[in-house]
């Protein structure tokens, strides 16, 4: 059992890819603990019941914690909470004390050390005694302050808490990874853990991570009497804490509060797997003491996972937004967390092989990130031998083209741009605000236009007649006219927008702008060879290769020709990019989200006036344009004294 648990520890902590649900893992550990109680002679010092299974990660400096970082004992059982209370009352018979209940965040335990109010170290828990120095990674997390908000900082304050990936960020990240053919994360916790293990902090910076804090390690120059006080103190220092907690005098009140918490368990921005109950009065902590792994003054209560068992009837294949073939589990409908699930993504072939999923299996389903139905594992002991293995098809199930696996990717793709599944995606991209910006051409409309065969390529948009549109569902006279106006207006966009809208792999809006600056028209770009492309600033061999491959395909050249025939602008608007303009010689850095512009639009406005846009703030930066939710660039601008423009000031500057 020890070996088995050690293997699961390795999967969970080191690889961030657990094979079994937490509930099953907890049950294994519990069984081992019971065996050890019955047979004390069999207990070893390194038993998983005694040590935390997280090992140092290669590539990071190992740090020794000044105060050990413990774990918590956990239970799924309210009777055990009453026993927890009884034990404490026995040790503290004469004393009055209370409890605090906090949501239990399902994330990655970390510690931060502030000296004189400045963040000097951030580390993982590791085995509780020693962890990894991940200061650089943690500094990229926007909710972690670099200095405490106070005029009289304590000499030392170590805070312990949890890094997590908010559920919405997790969904967006997985969607992006799916589109890029990367393996997706199984749940927000794995995504957070996997992100913090990155050796390159710039990757971590792109991951939507957040943190909150609930305990302290070493403290010098501060007195904290109660846990409630501690939470308030952390909050005043600008350290994020749990959005909600309950304080109670008795365990019965705690049990009621747990029921209340369970009702709102899905309402938090993070995935929550239970509640943590702590004695409020810190003065009793030493007296209550510690086991090998955890304090006796706190316990975690976990809710039963909202998991259901059902039969996997079939596996079908869906063609996703970028032509990726995704296997989908067709399930016997079953209710999980209040809704009926009949399908769940299986992500890719590797994932199916890893979980050994076969058609006909009894499977357990859960909701990852509280929303995506997912097959967690197979109930292997329910197999009858009639289950059949699944193999991905060699061809796209929608258009029949050969499916290919790109180098370095796990996913199979249909590369046929005319595939209806792909065409819809292409049209979405083509019409999007960052590309051709066609007002009124939404997803529902695209579905209809493609499914009815009215559109076979983006150029067909320009030949749509009002009567065609009026035959569609929910299409009135007025919206039809608006859409036609939107389509007409898109004929006269900047050259970079149509380059971007073509959806050439790896050509983002920024590369498209670089291409516009270099080639004054589409013909020049279409005729360019690899070497010519490599002379364009910002264009590397991968992008260049992808551009030549795109224009080499006859069907793409045909689309281009039809677009031109319908009157779409294929030339740069200005005769030449003004090297002279009101912003000539000025360097800008953009940070945060602007309301009235996408990043690329803002950059285009700056370039059109002769200015340059850079991606990092330095002393040479003239202005930082800051929108909503800015991060480290903003802080750096403040530090270096670079003028910061909000959106209004930026507009005024453009208007000047």
Supply the residues annotated as catalytic.
Answer: 104
Query: Which member of 88, 109, 324, 560 binds ligand IVH (CB under 6 A)?
Result: 109
Query: Which member of 32, 70, 411, 603 binds ligand IVH (CB under 6 A)?
Result: 70
> What part of residues 207-236 is at the interface with ligand IVH (CB under 6 A)?
214-215
Quick check: 112 binds ligand IVH (CB under 6 A)?
no
Task: Please tell me whether residue 536 adopts helix, strand or coil conformation.
Answer: coil
* Least distance (Å) between residue 537 CB and ligand IVH: 47
Closer of 70 and 257 to ligand IVH (Cβ): 70
What are the φ and ψ backbone dihedral angles of 352, each rounded to 5 degrees? -65, -40
Q: What is the DSSP string of 354-387?
A: HHT--BT-EEEEEEETTTEEEEEEE-GGG--S--
Quick check: 431 binds ligand IVH (CB under 6 A)?
no
* Least distance (Å) between residue 72 CB and ligand IVH: 4
| d(C-alpha 123, C-alpha 381), whole Å | 41
Q: What is the separation of C-alpha 240 from the centre of its chain, rounded to a whole number of angstroms?
A: 19
Total interface residues for ligand IVH by CB under 6 A: 16
Other CB atoms within 10 Å distance of the CB of residue 359: 16
The region of 100-108, 347-355, 422-430, 631-639 touching ligand IVH under the rule CB under 6 A is 100-108
How many CA atoms lie within 13 Å of 204's alpha carbon, on the beta-carbon side? 23
| d(C-alpha 449, C-alpha 431), whole Å | 13
Site string for ligand IVH, 164-203 (x = CB under 6 A): ----------------------------------------
Using alpha carbons, select from 217, 354, 292, 270 the residue that is nearest to residue 53.
Answer: 292
Q: CB-based burial of residue 535 (10 Å sphere; 0-12 exposed, 13-18 middle, 19+ buried)?
A: exposed
* Least distance (Å) between residue 207 CB and ligand IVH: 19
Beta-bridge partner residues of 412: 325, 405
The region of 66-74, 257-265, 572-580, 591-599 touching ligand IVH under the rule CB under 6 A is 66-74
Q: Which residue is nearest to ligand IVH (CB)?
A: 109
* Least distance (Å) between residue 215 CB and ligand IVH: 4
Closer of 298 and 525 to ligand IVH (Cβ): 298
| d(C-alpha 347, C-alpha 362), whole Å | 19
Query: Which member of 54, 162, 351, 437 binds ligand IVH (CB under 6 A)?
Result: 162
Q: Residue 430 is encoded by which pair of tokens?
A: 């083509």
| d(C-alpha 169, C-alpha 370), whole Å | 12
* Least distance (Å) between residue 490 CB and ligand IVH: 50
* Least distance (Å) between residue 222 CB and ligand IVH: 18
Closer of 298 and 480 to ligand IVH (Cβ): 298
Closer of 284 and 462 to ligand IVH (Cβ): 284
* Least distance (Å) between residue 204 CB and ligand IVH: 19
* Least distance (Å) between residue 109 CB and ligand IVH: 3
Beta-bridge partner residues of 119: 114
Whose tokens are 């957040």? That residue is 210
Query: Which member of 295, 320, 323, 327 binds ligand IVH (CB under 6 A)?
Result: 295
Q: Are 320 and 178 in contact (CB under 8 A)?
A: yes
Site string for ligand IVH, 299-328 (x = CB under 6 A): -x----------------------------
Q: Are 599 and 508 in contact (CB under 8 A)?
A: no
Burial 569-604 (b: 16+ CB within 10 A, else e): bbebeeeebeeeeebeebbbbbbbebeebbbbbbbb
Quick check: 163 binds ligand IVH (CB under 6 A)?
no
The region of 4-12, 103-111, 430-438, 547-555 touching ligand IVH under the rule CB under 6 A is 103-111
The region of 70-78, 376-384, 407-415, 613-621 touching ligand IVH under the rule CB under 6 A is 70-78
373: phi > 0 → left, psi -120 to 50 → alpha, else beta; which?
beta
Q: Are 94 and 165 in contact (CB under 8 A)?
A: no
Quick check: 72 binds ligand IVH (CB under 6 A)?
yes
The region of 20-28, 99-107, 113-121, 412-420 touching ligand IVH under the rule CB under 6 A is 99-107
| d(C-alpha 217, C-alpha 159), whole Å | 6
Whose tokens are 């579905």? That residue is 447
Quick check: 298 binds ligand IVH (CB under 6 A)?
yes
The region of 292-300, 386-394, 417-425, 628-636 touching ligand IVH under the rule CB under 6 A is 292-300
How many residues can be counted in the chain?
656
Closer of 129 and 555 to ligand IVH (Cβ): 129
| d(C-alpha 466, C-alpha 443), whole Å | 19
| d(C-alpha 450, C-alpha 569), whole Å | 24
| d(C-alpha 500, C-alpha 516), whole Å | 10
* Least distance (Å) between residue 102 CB and ligand IVH: 4
Query: Which member of 276, 324, 512, 522 binds ligand IVH (CB under 6 A)?
Result: 276
Query: Which member of 9, 49, 71, 630 binds ligand IVH (CB under 6 A)?
Result: 71
Q: Are 429 and 501 in contact (CB under 8 A)?
A: yes
The region of 104-112, 130-138, 491-499, 528-536 touching ligand IVH under the rule CB under 6 A is 104-112
* Least distance (Å) between residue 412 CB and ligand IVH: 38
Element at 443 (helix H, strand E): helix 443-451
3-state helix, strand, coil in the chain (%, to 5): 40, 20, 40
* Least distance (Å) between residue 391 CB and ligand IVH: 40
Strands 412-414 and 298-302: unpaired
Site string for ligand IVH, 452-491 (x = CB under 6 A): ----------------------------------------
Binding interface with ligand IVH (CB under 6 A)? 70-72, 74, 102, 104-105, 109, 162, 214-215, 242, 276, 295, 298, 300
């Amino acid at each position: 059992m020890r070996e088995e648990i050690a293997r699961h520890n390795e999967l969970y902590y080191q690889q961030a890819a657990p094979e079994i649900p937490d509930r099953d893992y907890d049950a294994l550990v519990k069984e081992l603990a019971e065996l050890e109680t019955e047979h004390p002679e069999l207990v070893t010092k390194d038993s998983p019941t005694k040590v935390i299974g997280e090992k140092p990660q290669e590539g990071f400096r190992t740090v020794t914690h000044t105060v050990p970082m413990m774990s918590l004992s956990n239970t799924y059982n309210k009777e055990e909470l009453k026993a927890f209370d009884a034990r404490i009352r026995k040790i503290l018979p004469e004393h009055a004390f209370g409890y605090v209940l906090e949501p239990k965040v399902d994330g990655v335990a970390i510690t931060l050390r502030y000296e004189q109010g400045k963040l000097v170290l951030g580390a993982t828990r590791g085995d509780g005694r020693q962890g990894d120095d991940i200061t650089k990674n943690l500094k990229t997390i926007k909710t972690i302050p670099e200095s405490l908000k106070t005029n009289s900082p304590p000499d030392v304050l170590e805070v312990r808490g949890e890094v997590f990936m908010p559920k919405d960020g997790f969904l967006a990240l997985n969607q992006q990874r799916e589109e890029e053919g990367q393996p997706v994360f199984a749940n927000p916790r794995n995504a957070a853990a996997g992100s913090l293990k990155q050796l390159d902090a710039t990757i971590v910076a792109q991951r939507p991570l957040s943190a909150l804090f609930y305990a302290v390690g070493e403290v010098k120059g501060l007195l904290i009497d109660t846990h409630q006080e501690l939470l308030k103190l952390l909050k005043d220092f600008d350290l994020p804490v749990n959005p909600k907690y309950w304080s109670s005098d008795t365990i019965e009140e705690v049990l009621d509060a747990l029921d209340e918490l369970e009702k709102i368990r899905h309402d938090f921005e993070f995935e929550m797997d239970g509640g943590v109950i702590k004695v409020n009065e810190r003065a009793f902590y030493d007296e209550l003491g510690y086991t090998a792994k955890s304090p006796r003054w706190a316990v975690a209560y976990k809710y039963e996972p909202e998991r259901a068992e059902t039969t996997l009837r079939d596996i079908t294949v869906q063609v996703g937004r970028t032509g990726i073939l995704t296997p989908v589990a067709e399930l016997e409908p079953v209710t999980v967390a209040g809704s009926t699930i009949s399908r769940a993504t299986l992500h890719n072939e590797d994932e199916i092989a890893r979980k050994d999923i076969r058609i006909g299996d009894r499977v357990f389903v859960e909701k990852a990130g509280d929303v995506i139905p997912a097959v967690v594992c197979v109930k292997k002991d329910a197999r009858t031998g009639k289950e059949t293995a699944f193999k991905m098809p060699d061809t796209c199930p929608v258009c029949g083209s050969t499916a290919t696996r790109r180098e370095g990717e796990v996913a199979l793709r249909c590369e046929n741009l005319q595939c209806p599944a792909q065409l819809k995606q292409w049209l979405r991209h083509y019409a999007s605000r960052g590309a051709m910006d066609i007002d009124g051409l939404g997803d529902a409309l695209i579905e209809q236009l493609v499914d009815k065969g009215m559109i076979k390529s983006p150029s067909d948009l320009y030949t749509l007649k009002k009567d065609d549109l009026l035959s569609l569902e929910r299409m009135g006279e007025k919206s039809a006219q608006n859409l036609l106006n939107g389509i007409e207006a898109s004929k006269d966009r900047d050259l970079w927008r149509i380059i971007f809208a073509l959806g050439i792999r790896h050509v983002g809006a920024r590369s498209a702008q670089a291409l516009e600056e270099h080639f004054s028209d589409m013909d020049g770009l279409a005729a360019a060879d690899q070497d010519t492309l490599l002379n364009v600033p910002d264009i590397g061999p991968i992008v260049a290769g992808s551009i030549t491959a795109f224009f080499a395909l006859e069907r793409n050249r045909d689309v281009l020709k039809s677009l031109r025939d319908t009157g779409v602008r294929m030339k740069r608007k200005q005769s030449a990019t003004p090297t002279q303009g009101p912003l000539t010689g000025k360097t800008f850095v953009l940070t945060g989200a602007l309301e009235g512009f996408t990043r690329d639009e803002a950059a285009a406005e700056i370039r059109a006036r002769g200015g340059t846009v850079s991606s990092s703030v330095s002393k040479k930066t003239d202005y930082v344009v800051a929108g909503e939710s800015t991060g480290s660039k903003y802080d750096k601008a403040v530090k270096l004294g670079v003028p910061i423009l909000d959106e209004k000031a930026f507009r005024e500057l453009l208007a000047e």
